[in-house]
Amino acid sequence: MKPKQLQDALNDVKEEYIADAHKEESETNSAKAAGNLPFALTGSERKGLKKIFRRPSFRIALVACLLLVLGGGAIFATVTHGRTHDKPTPSKPGSVHIPPAEMPKLSATADMLGLICHNGKVYTEAQIFSSDVKEDIWGLVGTYLGETNCEIHEWTARQNENWITELASNVAGTVYTVNGYDDDFRICTAGEWYPEEGGVRYFVFFYECLNGITLNQGSDLIHHKLRIMDRLPDTVEKETKTLLDALYKAPFIVIKPDPESGYYYYGDKSKDFRYIENNNAYLEIPLTDGTSNGFIVYKNGYVKYNCFDLRDCYMVVDPALVEYLFQ
Amino acid sequence: MEDTEIIALYWARDERAVSETAEKYGRYCHSVAYRILQNKEDSEECVNDTYTGAWNTIPPHRPELFSAFLAKITRRISLNRLRNKTAERRGSGQYTVTLEELTECIPSSLSAEDTLETHELTRIINKFLDGLPTDERRVFLCRYWYLDPIKDIAKRFSFGESKVKMMLKRTREKLLIHLEKEGITL
């Protein structure tokens, strides 16, 4: 074998790796917004951060945030949950366009999700993972991006139309990229806290951005964003694998909320498939990198990724493929 | 324009596909070609050949990651062009240097005459890349896929040059072990 052959074989390595290695060039100019902070933490910076984590005031704030988030999935008050941006719309049959996030212009009354702005985009809270084992968590944590400014609140949009500034947020935390995931889609906060029962636990809290994009079929979500197909453990059930294969090619549909009754209610509730008792199952797919993804699966074959931006968007598969979840 | 829309233009045999591709990814493809060829005119020709390559392969192909798909075509065309040129004038540019470095990854039990199906070798390298830490994989591909100079890689990742060299050396050693484990022996 000649080195030339090795060089040739390299040409066809996975495209995602090629794009990832020169990320800023393989993306379009529009995807590159100002404000990125492409530096890594030095040892002394890490030590400094650890000191910050150990400050009682910071820990109290962090634990308070975690409790709020874990308890109700909602942080702070007053921006309407379902109205932080316009509704998704089908852009062509089978695909869906999710408009960029916007803060409502009017005062609002419901809960406000945890959110972080980065590279001109808005990321909303998603999964949280914690462990006693530091490596389990820090293995997921990528490049240091900075500290959130905690300045977003219900009046932000009124005070300043250009409220999407780098690392503007309504949560406190140190923000990083997530190893193995595109930071256009997923970033995280991470740290440690000290439970009352003693010891230390480490956490990583994902924030995801699925707005300002178009999803043409399931693979755009399942593969290009969530990276599920690359990281599926061998132990995954055969039926789940078959379902994922179908989701890969599945079209999207949008079910818009009733304009009068808002996000939490759609039309005649008694006939809405989402409100029929025992009509859905929660499918959690663990991945080899230690993360997992949750889907809400309905008996009619509608499958929804459990996140804020896609709350009205469903992938559609043959109902026969989801039957096993209800047996 | 979204990638999927550009690809749809290729499928519809609409020539706007090429202009849209050039507008969106022309600079990227040019940078891939230029790193290999170190020549503006040659690079431009390779980029134009890339559009022809894309036109000829879509359909039937429907790339999932359009930018990387184009970069692969550019790289292949640029390497071929460089090989033709260096047949006359050897020893220039990053190509020759990286080629020498990659010699370290070839199991000693293989002679220069031994060949292996390229796609099988790609499969093995992909498996190797799957197991690498992200930074290590990025640095490896910057060096051996994009043929970036060490200095540029160091700048890109905010590493020292010696760190990059050491990372690459260790990765090459790992690759050698991986290739041997995969049974690339006689």
For chain A, 327 residues long, give each residue's pLDDT as a single digit of tens: 567 778 788 888 888 888 888 877 766 433 332 222 222 333 333 334 344 444 444 444 445 444 444 333 333 322 333 334 456 666 667 888 898 877 654 444 334 678 899 998 889 889 888 888 989 899 999 999 998 877 776 555 555 667 778 888 888 889 999 999 999 999 999 988 887 777 888 889 999 999 999 999 999 999 999 999 889 999 999 999 999 999 999 999 888 665 554 444 444 556 667 767 778 898 999 999 989 999 999 998 999 998 888 888 999 999 999 999 988
CB A178 within 8 A of CB A209: no
Q: Would you state the pLDDT for residue A112?
A: 63
In the three-class reduction of DSSP (H, G, I as helix; E, B as strand; rest coil), residue A303 is classed as strand
User: How many domains is chain A partitioned into structurally?
Assistant: 2
> For residue A297, what is the enclosing H or E element?
strand A292-298
Three-state SS string over A39-102 comes to CCCCHHHHHHHHHHHHCHHHHHHHHHHHHHHHHHCCEEECCCHHHCCCCCECCCCCCEEECCCC
Residue ending a domain, among A193, A214, A235, is: A214
| Closest chain B CA to residue A25 | B28
Identify all chain B residues contacting A18, using CB atoms and an 8 Å cutoff: 65, 68, 71-72, 141, 145
Residues A205 and A231 in one domain: no
Q: Which residues on adjacent β-strands are paired with residue A201?
A: A193
How would residue B166 be classed by pLDDT, with cut points 50, 70 and 90?
A: confident
Q: Would you state the pLDDT for residue B2?
A: 84
Residue ending a domain, among A164, A184, A214, is: A214
Residues B121 and B73 in one domain: no
Residues A47 and A163 in one domain: yes
Determine the Cα–Cα distance for residues A202 and A133; give it in Å rounded to an integer.
7
* Domain span including residue A312: 217-326
Q: Would you state the pLDDT for residue B113?
A: 42
Whether residue A246 lies inside any domain: the answer is yes
B166 touches chain A (CB under 8 A): no
Tokens of B177: 């072990």
Residue ending a domain, among B86, B101, B117, is: B86
Q: Would you state the pLDDT for residue A41?
A: 34
A132 touches chain B (CB under 8 A): no
B114 touches chain A (CB under 8 A): yes
Whether residue B116 lies inside any domain: the answer is yes
Residue ending a domain, among B32, B66, B86, is: B86
Residues counted in chain A: 327
- How far does B131 lie from chain A, in Å, by closest CA? 11
Whether residue A11 lies inside any domain: the answer is no
> Is the Cβ pair A7, B99 closer than 8 Å?
yes
Q: Would you state the pLDDT for residue B96?
A: 67
* Domain span including residue B59: 3-86
Residue ending a domain, among B33, B51, B86, is: B86
Whether residue B186 lies inside any domain: the answer is no
* Test mutation, A26, A182, A224, A252, chain B, max B CBs within 10 A: A26
Residues B99 and B57 in one domain: no
Residues B102 and B120 in one domain: yes
Amino acid at the residue B60: P
CATH number of the domain that residue B109 is part of: 1.20.140.160
Over residues B151-158, the mean pLDDT reads: 87
Over residues B28-40, the mean pLDDT reads: 88
Residue ending a domain, among A155, A184, A214, is: A214
- How far does B65 lie from chain A, in Å, by closest CA? 6
> Is the Cβ pair A1, B184 closer than 8 Å?
yes
Of all residues in chain B, the percent with pLDDT exceeding 90 is 12
ipTM: 0.78
Identify all chain B residues contacting A180, using CB atoms and an 8 Å cutoff: 134
B57 touches chain A (CB under 8 A): no
Residues A206 and A246 in one domain: no
Whether residue B104 lies inside any domain: the answer is yes
Residues A229 and A202 in one domain: no
Identify all chain A residues contacting B142, using CB atoms and an 8 Å cutoff: 21-22
In angstroms, how far is the first alpha carbon of chain A from the final one?
A: 54
Residues A274 and A201 in one domain: no
Whether residue B108 lies inside any domain: the answer is yes
Residue holding tokens 């392969």?
B57
Residues A277 and A148 in one domain: no
Q: Is the pLDDT of residue B112 over 60?
A: no
Q: Would you state the pLDDT for residue B35?
A: 84
Residues B52 and B119 in one domain: no
Identify all chain A residues contacting B63, using CB atoms and an 8 Å cutoff: 15
Over residues B51-75, the mean pLDDT reads: 86
Amino acid at the residue A125: E
> Between residues B94 and B174, which one has the greater pLDDT?
B174
- How far does A203 lie from chain B, in Å, by closest CA? 20
* Residue pLDDT, tens place only, B4-19: 889 888 888 888 889 8
Whether residue A2 lies inside any domain: the answer is no
Q: Would you state the pLDDT for residue A28?
A: 47
Q: Would you state the pLDDT for residue B157?
A: 87
Residues A196 and A321 in one domain: no
A106 touches chain B (CB under 8 A): no
Tokens of B97: 């240097």
Residues A41 and A102 in one domain: yes
Whether residue A4 lies inside any domain: the answer is no
> Is the Cβ pair B68, A10 closer than 8 Å?
no
User: How many domains is chain B partitioned into structurally?
Assistant: 2
